[in-house]
């Protein structure tokens, strides 16, 4: 038998070995966490809203990073932040929106300069330096100022793209990367990168969390959001929640778990405020108050999937489920929603049309294929009326006939990667009466976006969503593409 005839067997063996290597890894300790139901103290919903008015003029109204920067500026004991995208990449778009990466960089530097002994910690994703292929000026400036900058150890996470990542682990993860030796086009901006950047990129995994924990006067405060400090994303529509007390400490505890496998030496090096060290923080979090009307629960990784499925499968006839999400490809959650619709739950879904990506045009996968499925079965769908930006929020609101409500929001898209523990994700689950301020604002936000009615006094008439028919897509080819990408992991969603 010739060497050429042996080649298919060699390739097949390599793929099988890759799958075996990729299958032998689980999430590190402390991931896929679920806190107790804790009292919701000082809960507040924050919204970034981008839409056009009836004259076609686009308006960008932002709250999230204004509040995040305010929280950092007033902190006296700790700033701990975990953000997926933290860079000034703009892609090919001619627009220059808010320079949010520099704003956040300067805020963190100013805090470290004014409080030299105070822990200021940033966890972020290695995509921000293209896996060592470029110098990220924001991250370099932070490190020079004494901020602890931690690049998440993605090799510790399970593999999303199993048919590639095993090969990566066997052969390529050992390669170094030198930003001065790039020779291939930078996929997200000017300059050149090495082959190693591309080989790492197609593992399709990320620390996708977006959290902040600070002290605020006599309490601890946390923010969980869908928004990134990324210039190219600064016009996106997003959602966030802030909360104080034990719920904020639960967020910090979940982030200490990321430090434990990404930079374990920092756990000992950081001078934690009293009661916040990893070995004591669990005992600092008080027992939950059983009779609190409004409660919140931290959920990460697979616990987000479990919470979403429970919210949908437990819905009763006459209940309402509203969803707005950037990516929706999770097949079991889709079926659960269709089943709920069949038993009399009023389901409505707002989706991004998946057409814009930082100056580049996308083909609508996966949302247009999922929307077609919902539409065929009678679940109404509307599209975000985007004009270069993205409809980047990720949330579900359930309203029950008994007057109670459940709100799930955070960083996680409704996809296999985001809900199966293949990315790092942080969400919260709010349980509260329908007249609670957070629930009331969420209801007003969804009605604004679905019906294009005013959200509040500061936001006038906006054409935020359009009819399903505007982006209807019944292509069998793209449907097959969606199915293949979701099942195999060869996708960016």
Do 98 and 230 lie in one domain? The reply is yes
In the listed set 219, 235, 269, which residue is the last one of a domain according to the structure? Answer: 269
Residue 12: cis peptide before it, omega within 30 degrees of 0? no
**328 beta partners:** 414
Token pair for 112:
């470290």
Residue 279 lies in a domain: no
pLDDT for res 183: 95
Do 121 and 189 lie in one domain? The reply is yes
The alpha carbon of residue 152 and the mean position of all alpha carbons in its chain are separated, in whole angstroms, by: 15
Ranking 161-175, 189-203, 323-337 by mean pLDDT, the lowest is 161-175
pLDDT for res 93: 61
In the listed set 221, 238, 269, which residue is the last one of a domain according to the structure? Answer: 269
> Residue 259 — φ and ψ, nearest 5°?
-60, -35
pLDDT for residue 3 is more than 60? no
Residue 305 lies in a domain: yes
Q: Which domain holds residue 214?
A: 38-269
The alpha carbon of residue 393 and the mean position of all alpha carbons in its chain are separated, in whole angstroms, by: 9
Pairing mode, strands 320-325 and 346-351: parallel
Do 255 and 298 lie in one domain? The reply is no
pLDDT for residue 210 is more than 90? yes
pLDDT for res 149: 98
* Of 77 and 163, the one with more pLDDT: 77
Mean pLDDT of 88-112: 86
* CA dist., res. 63 & res. 342, Å (int): 38
Do 443 and 317 lie in one domain? The reply is yes
Do 304 and 263 lie in one domain? The reply is no
Query: Which of these, 240, 267, 241, 242, lies nearest to 253 by C-alpha position?
Result: 267
Token pair for 359:
């100056």
pLDDT for residue 1 is more than 70? no
* Of 10 and 140, the one with more pLDDT: 140
pLDDT for residue 455 is more than 90? no
Do 318 and 259 lie in one domain? The reply is no
With a CB cutoff of 8 Å and minimum separation 6, the contacts of 53 are 59, 460, 461, 462, 463
- Binned at pLDDT 50, 70 and 90, residue 361 comes out as confident
DSSP for 95-144, written as a single string: -----HHHHHHHHHHHHHHHSTTS-EEEEE-GGGGGGGTS--HHHHHHHH
Residue 20 lies in a domain: no
Mean pLDDT of 395-420: 97
Do 221 and 169 lie in one domain? The reply is yes
pLDDT tens string 31-76 = 999 999 999 999 999 999 999 988 889 999 999 999 999 999 999 9
* Of 378 and 454, the one with more pLDDT: 378
Residue 280 lies in a domain: no
Do 308 and 451 lie in one domain? The reply is yes
Residue 150 lies in a domain: yes
* CA dist., res. 14 & res. 8, Å (int): 10
Residue 478 lies in a domain: yes
pLDDT tens string 124-135 = 999 999 999 999
In the listed set 224, 254, 269, which residue is the last one of a domain according to the structure? Answer: 269
pLDDT for residue 122 is more than 90? yes
pLDDT for residue 208 is more than 80? yes
- Binned at pLDDT 50, 70 and 90, residue 19 comes out as low
pLDDT for res 7: 65
Q: What's the number of CA atoms in the CB half-sphere (13 Å) around residue 149?
A: 21
- Binned at pLDDT 50, 70 and 90, residue 292 comes out as confident
Q: What is the dihedral of CA 270, 31, 431, 252, to 10 degrees?
A: 0
Whole-number average pLDDT of the chain = 92
Do 455 and 315 lie in one domain? The reply is yes
pLDDT for residue 358 is more than 90? no
Residue 132 lies in a domain: yes
Do the beta carbons of residue 239 and residue 225 sit within 8 Å?
Answer: yes
Do the beta carbons of residue 321 and residue 397 sit within 8 Å?
Answer: yes
Do the beta carbons of residue 83 and residue 124 sit within 8 Å?
Answer: yes
Do the beta carbons of residue 86 and residue 210 sit within 8 Å?
Answer: no
Do the beta carbons of residue 150 and residue 124 sit within 8 Å?
Answer: yes
* CA dist., res. 352 & res. 325, Å (int): 7
pLDDT for res 443: 97
> Residue 373 — φ and ψ, nearest 5°?
-65, -45
Query: Which of these, 243, 233, 242, 268, lies nearest to 148 by C-alpha position?
Result: 268
Residue 1 lies in a domain: no
* CA dist., res. 281 & res. 425, Å (int): 21
**Structural domains in the chain (count):** 2
pLDDT for res 320: 98
pLDDT for res 352: 98
Distances (CA, A) of 399 to 38, 39, 103, 433, 436: 20, 20, 38, 9, 12
pLDDT for res 454: 76
Query: Which of these, 362, 333, 365, 363, lies nearest to 349 by C-alpha position?
Result: 333
pLDDT for res 357: 81
Ranking 289-293, 301-305, 404-408 by mean pLDDT, the lowest is 289-293
pLDDT tens string 143-155 = 999 999 999 999 9
> Residue 328 — φ and ψ, nearest 5°?
-135, 105
**412 beta partners:** none
* CA dist., res. 454 & res. 49, Å (int): 12
pLDDT for residue 90 is more than 90? no
Q: What is the CATH number of the domain that holds 449?
A: 3.30.870.10
- Binned at pLDDT 50, 70 and 90, residue 303 comes out as very high
DSSP for 321-385, written as a single string: EEEEES-B--HHHHHHHHHHHHTT-EEEEEE--S-EETTEE---TTHHHHHHHHHHTT--EEEE-
Do 257 and 299 lie in one domain? The reply is no
* CA dist., res. 87 & res. 74, Å (int): 24
Token pair for 287:
């027992």
* % of the chain beyond a pLDDT of 70: 92
Do 228 and 325 lie in one domain? The reply is no
Do 339 and 259 lie in one domain? The reply is no
The pTM of this model reads: 0.94
pLDDT for res 24: 66
pLDDT tens string 458-471 = 666 789 999 999 99
């Amino acid at each position: 038998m010739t060497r050429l005839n042996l080649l298919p067997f060699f390739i097949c063996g390599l793929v099988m070995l890759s799958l075996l290597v990729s299958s032998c890894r689980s999430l590190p300790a402390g991931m896929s966490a679920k806190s107790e139901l804790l009292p919701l103290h000082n809960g507040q919903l924050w919204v970034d809203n981008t839409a056009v008015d009836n004259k076609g003029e686009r308006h960008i109204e932002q709250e999230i990073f204004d509040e995040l920067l305010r929280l950092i500026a007033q902190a006296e004991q700790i700033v701990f932040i975990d953000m997926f995208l933290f860079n000034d990449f703009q892609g090919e778009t001619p627009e220059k929106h808010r320079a949010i990466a520099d704003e956040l960089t300067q805020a963190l530097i100013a805090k470290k300069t004014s409080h030299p002994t105070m822990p200021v910690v940033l966890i972020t994703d290695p995509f921000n330096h293209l896996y060592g292929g470029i110098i990220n000026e924001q991250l370099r400036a932070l490190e020079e100022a004494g901020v602890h900058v931690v690049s998440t150890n993605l090799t510790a996470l399970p593999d999303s793209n199993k048919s590639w990542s095993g090969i990566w682990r066997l052969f390529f993860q050992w390669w170094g990367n030198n930003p001065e030796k790039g020779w291939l086009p930078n996929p997200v901006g000017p300059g050149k990168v090495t082959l190693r950047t591309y080989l790492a990129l197609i593992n399709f995994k990320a620390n996708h969390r977006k959290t902040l924990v600070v002290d605020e006067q006599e309490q601890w405060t946390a923010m969980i959001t869908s928004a990134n400090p990324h210039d190219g994303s600064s016009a996106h529509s997003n959602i966030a929640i802030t909360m104080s007390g034990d719920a904020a400490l639960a967020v910090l505890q979940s982030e200490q778990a990321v430090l434990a496998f990404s930079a374990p030496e920092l756990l000992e090096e950081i001078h934690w405020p009293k009661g916040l060290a990893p070995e004591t923080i669990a005992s600092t979090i008080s027992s939950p108050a059983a009779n609190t009307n409004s409660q919140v629960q931290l959920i990460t990784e697979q616990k987000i999937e479990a919470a979403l499925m429970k919210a949908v499968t437990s819905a009763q006839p006459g209940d309402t489920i509203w969803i707005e999400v950037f990516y929706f490809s999770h097949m079991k959650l889709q079926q659960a929603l269709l089943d709920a619709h069949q038993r009399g739950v009023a389901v409505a879904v707002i989706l991004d049309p998946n057409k814009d990506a930082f100056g580049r045009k996308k083909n609508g996968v996966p949302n247009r294929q999922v929307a077609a499925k919902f539409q065929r079965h009678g679940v109404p769908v509307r599209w975000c009326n985007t004009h270069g930006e993205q409809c980047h929020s990720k949330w579900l609101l359930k309203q029950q006939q008994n007057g109670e409500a459940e709100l799930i929001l955070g960083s996680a898209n409704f996809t296999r990667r985001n809900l199966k523990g293949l990315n790092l994700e942080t969400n919260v689950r709010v349980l509260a009466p329908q007249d609670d301020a957070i629930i009331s604002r969420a209801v007003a936000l969804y009605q604004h976006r679905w019906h294009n009615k005013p959200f509040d006094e500061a936001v006038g008439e906006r054409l935020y969503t359009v009819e399903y028919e505007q982006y209807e897509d019944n292509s069998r080819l793209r449907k097959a593409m969606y199915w293949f990408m979701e099942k195999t992991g060869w996708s960016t969603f």
